[in-house]
Amino acid sequence: MPTFKVAVLEGDGIGPEVVSSALKVLKRVGELSGMDFVFEKALIGGSAIDHSGTPLPEETLSLCLESHAVLLGAVGGPKWDSLPTDKRPEKGLLAIRKALDLYANLRPAKVYEPLITSSPLKEDVARGTDFVVVRELTGDVYYGEPRGIFLDDGKRVGINTMKYTEEEIRRVVRKAFEIAQHRRKKLTSVDKSNVLEVSGLWRMVVEEEARNYPDVEVEHLYVDNCAMQIVRRPSSFDVIVTGNIFGDILSDEAAVITGSLGMLPSASIGERHALYEPVHGSAPDIAGKGMANPIATILSTAMMLRYSFGLKELADAVEKAVELALQRGYRTPDIYSDGCKSVGTEGMTEVIIKALEEVWQK
């Protein structure tokens, strides 16, 4: 029986609550399937600053490097907002992504039928939406040099450099093609090659890699057009691959059309390591009140089962359990509507675990 070691970084705010729920589900998955999951906790973000003065302690990074996967809750909060930018909790998240070389960020966008009225789109437009944005995570204008604010002839000039190497593009494009092969076999590459030389290289590399994946249909969209099409025809997309800054914007747009951040998982993947976390933040205003929606973190563990452990059947079971809980009308406050059954964090977790047991028996 294989043993999978998971580094658990609860983080701040509601992080410990939603991570606790996800671990309960993952533990039950192990009991039902015979898999062995070992959890070891470490500090990151504000809690790490309070304990050791740094948002990413060395012992945390060491644990992550020796684990099969990392599960993260959330970081940050007003308590640490007055700290210098390079000392704030969010720096711990950026640092761990860099240290683990997590070059591909996966952001699913799925409209669940029981929650379709929560989408700001018309029902007939939103229905059937189920795609993944694959965002390159370690390059682009966020990391390019030179960068900064400089004086030019006595006036301030701000500079950020958009830069990609061929290999940086190729590895994330390959990852996106591989994901598309296991979904509906359609890849949308997003760039701005009509005005940006960097995007021209991006499109060339996509075309070169497409020859290695003849079973995947490829389309190219300019980023402004893609933003429009996500609103007009979201159900037509399967896998979207794009650079860091475009992916940052498009994945947030995709999150909004699903209706609730509390439903959205994510994965940041490298060649050897991977980190899984909900899209939502630390929500300090509801921390400790038992109101947080654990579904995004639970679905993040489903992504962990699929992408890090290769356990597709178990990942499918967790996702089906979440859908079953929603079909039965259970809702946390962020997704509640009249006529539904109101539950808190623990209540929703219990309902999903019960549904998981039913799915597994079938």
CB 246 within 8 A of CB 223: yes
Reading the chain (362 residues) residue by residue, the pLDDT tens digits are 779 999 999 999 999 999 999 999 999 999 999 999 999 999 999 999 999 999 999 999 999 999 999 999 999 999 999 998 888 999 998 899 889 999 999 999 999 999 999 999 999 999 999 999 999 999 999 889 999 999 999 999 999 999 999 999 999 999 999 999 999 999 999 999 999 999 999 999 999 999 999 999 999 999 999 999 999 999 999 999 999 999 999 999 999 998 887 899 999 999 999 999 999 989 999 999 999 999 999 999 999 999 999 999 999 999 999 999 999 999 999 998 889 999 999 999 999 999 999 999 98
Output the CA torsion sign for 346, 329, 340, 297.
positive
Q: Is 219 exposed, middle or buried (0-12, 13-18, 19+ CB in 10 A)?
A: middle
Options 163, 252, 289, 341, the catalytic residue: 252
Check whether residue 125 and residue 254 sit in a common domain.
yes
Confidence (pLDDT) at 337: 87
Confidence (pLDDT) at 88: 92
Q: Is residue 311 in a domain? A: yes
Domain boundary among 211, 226, 258: 258
Domain boundary among 242, 258, 274: 258
The position carrying tokens 């630390």 is 282
Confidence (pLDDT) at 19: 98
212-224 pLDDT per residue, tens? 999 999 999 999 9
Q: At what angle do helices 197-210 and 166-181 cross, to 10 degrees?
A: 40
Check whether residue 234 and residue 303 sit in a common domain.
no
Check whether residue 130 and residue 149 sit in a common domain.
yes
Residue 101 annotated as catalytic: no
Confidence (pLDDT) at 314: 97
For 305, other C-beta atoms within 10 Å of its C-beta total 26
Options 41, 79, 130, 142, the catalytic residue: 142
Check whether residue 130 and residue 225 sit in a common domain.
yes
Residue type, 35: M
Q: Is 170 exposed, middle or buried (0-12, 13-18, 19+ CB in 10 A)?
A: middle
Residue 252 annotated as catalytic: yes
CB 184 within 8 A of CB 238: yes
Q: Is residue 281 in a domain? A: yes
Residue 190, domain CATH = 3.40.718.10
Check whether residue 221 and residue 181 sit in a common domain.
yes
Residue 248 annotated as catalytic: yes
Confidence (pLDDT) at 251: 94
CB 103 within 8 A of CB 137: yes
Q: At what angle do helices 312-327 and 295-307 cross, to 10 degrees?
A: 160
Check whether residue 254 and residue 140 sit in a common domain.
yes
pTM of the predicted model as reported, rounded to 2 decimal places: 0.93
Options 191, 238, 248, 334, the catalytic residue: 248
Options 36, 81, 224, 285, the catalytic residue: 224
For 182, other C-beta atoms within 10 Å of its C-beta total 10
Of the candidates 223, 266, 225, 259, which has an alpha carbon nearest to the alpha carbon of residue 241?
223
Q: Is residue 113 in a domain? A: no
Check whether residue 244 and residue 283 sit in a common domain.
no
Check whether residue 245 and residue 308 sit in a common domain.
no
Q: Is residue 114 in a domain? A: no
Confidence (pLDDT) at 94: 85
Structural domains of the chain, count: 2
Distance CA 98, CA 111 (A): 31
Domain boundary among 238, 258, 278: 258
Check whether residue 130 and residue 191 sit in a common domain.
yes
Check whether residue 285 and residue 361 sit in a common domain.
yes
Distance CA 278, CA 282 (A): 10
Q: Is residue 115 in a domain? A: no
Q: Is residue 42 in a domain? A: yes
- Which pairing describes strands 155-159 and 148-152: parallel, antiparallel, or unpaired? antiparallel
Check whether residue 244 and residue 280 sit in a common domain.
no
Q: Which domain holds residue 177?
A: 120-258
